[in-house]
Structure 1
Amino acid sequence: MSVYDFTCTTMQGKEVSLSQYKGKVILIVNTASKCGFTPQFAGLEKLYKEYKDKGLEILGFPSNQFNEQDPGTNEEIQEFCKVNYGVTFQMFKKGDVRGDNPQPLFAYLTKEKGFKGFNMDHPIAPKLVPMLKEKHPEILEGDGIKWNFTKFLIDREGNVVERFEPTTTPEEIAPAIEKLL
């Protein structure tokens, strides 16, 4: 099994087989519009513009599961991303990325690459971890997505090669992407 076995729905309602990205390096990200990590959209778009001609695709998947930080409709989210961050990479329909009924793609991704911890040097981490322990301790259990802007790097053969938590910025991922391109 690989990411190519999954079909996802774009913001525009089009069913897309991820097999259309065969031969590309893919960065899959769960996103949110009202999160402390939301400015990562700018870094993701910068990565996309810098590497898309070399074979990088970035796929964004909004979720409202983390303190309801993406409550808008698909259309509102798409507009927000475009107007505020100039997002041109493919965004998909909002859905669950963890819990009892995650999108099948995210169930697969988290099974392939488990949680290894947050980068506690990131300025948000010292606030995020205590908040999770206090308000959402269940999120810290297991390998499920812990928060918005968890990123999965996929090689040109569809294999999940790395997982980056929200506390890893897009800029920090660039060397790993370059190795696969």
Structure 2
Amino acid sequence: MKSMFRKLALGLSVALLPLATAAGQSEPEAASAPQASDSSKDCPAIFNHKMKKLHSSKILDVCEVTAGKPVLLVNTASHCGFTDQFGDLEALHKKYKDQGLVVLGVSSDSFDQEDEDEGKAAEICFKNFGVSFTMLSTVPVKGENAHPMFLEVARQDVAPRWNFYKYLVGSDGKIISSNSSFFMPDEDDIEALLN
């Protein structure tokens, strides 16, 4: 029902735009599209983006964050029954960061379980679970409106079907394996990816 009203409102605003412009009113600003990174031509498409850090005004170049290393990519939400996995992800980060694994969390409200207040979402992962790996600001992760990073995930593998889907991504940007919300990546797979 909510979706139907959004589509109706969008259709109405698009239909009225020419009238508003003709009446001398300016067009509304377009939502800012995700930006591609300019750090490297060799950056894999999956990471070739600039994204906002969670609860920060800092924009990160994801190519620089991943720096050609293997990545454990996960979509997160602060009010999900799987939120305690932040602790498991942090443990993997601490265990493997010196060997080159980058854990990259992406906040999402695609399943209606992320806090509307990004500060509260950040508090849950950073303070409650001690997360020190990179967390990116809330973006959609499924459907045609998904952030381009997750459109690439869906193209290569499967789009997240819930919060805390985990993807092991090689340094070349190819997804090696994926895990549903119920499972953490196998440490043998992580170690094979690092060797």
**For the Cα contact (< 8 Å) 2:52–2:59, is it kept in 1?**
yes
Aligned length: 149
Q: CA RMSD in A?
A: 1.5
**For the Cα contact (< 8 Å) 1:2–1:159, is it kept in 2?**
no
Q: What is the aligned counterpart of 1:74 among 92, 115, 118?
A: 118
Deviations 1:57-98 (A, max 9, x none): 1111111221x2112322211111112111000111111111
Q: Which residue identity does 2:191 align to in structure 1?
A: E
- Structure 2 spans left out of the alignment, 5+ residues: 1-43
1:113 has 2:157 as partner? yes
Mapped to 2, the partners of 1:159 and 1:177 lie a distance apart of 14
Deviations 1:95-136 (A, max 9, x none): 11112311110011111112xxxxxxxxxxxxxxxxxxxxxx
Report the TM-score when normalising by structure 2.
0.71
Decide which moves more: 44-53 or 99-108. Answer: 99-108
Match of 2:135 in 1: 91
Mapped to 2, the partners of 1:5 and 1:83 lie a distance apart of 29
SS at match of 2:153: helix
**For the Cα contact (< 8 Å) 2:90–2:133, is it kept in 1?**
yes
Superposition pairs for residues 155-174 of structure 1, below 5 Å?
A: 155-169=170-184, 172-174=185-187
Match of 1:179 in 2: 192
1:17 has 2:71 as partner? no
Mapped to 1, the partners of 2:174 and 2:50 lie a distance apart of 16
Match of 1:152 in 2: 167
Mapped to 1, the partners of 2:148 and 2:127 lie a distance apart of 30
Superposition pairs for residues 54-65 of structure 1, below 5 Å?
A: 54-65=99-110
> Percentage identity across aligned positions?
34
Report the TM-score when normalising by structure 1.
0.76
- Structure 1 spans left out of the alignment, 5+ residues: 115-143
Q: What is the aligned counterpart of 1:33 among 44, 60, 78?
A: 78
Mapped to 1, the partners of 2:69 and 2:75 lie a distance apart of 19
SS at match of 2:186: helix
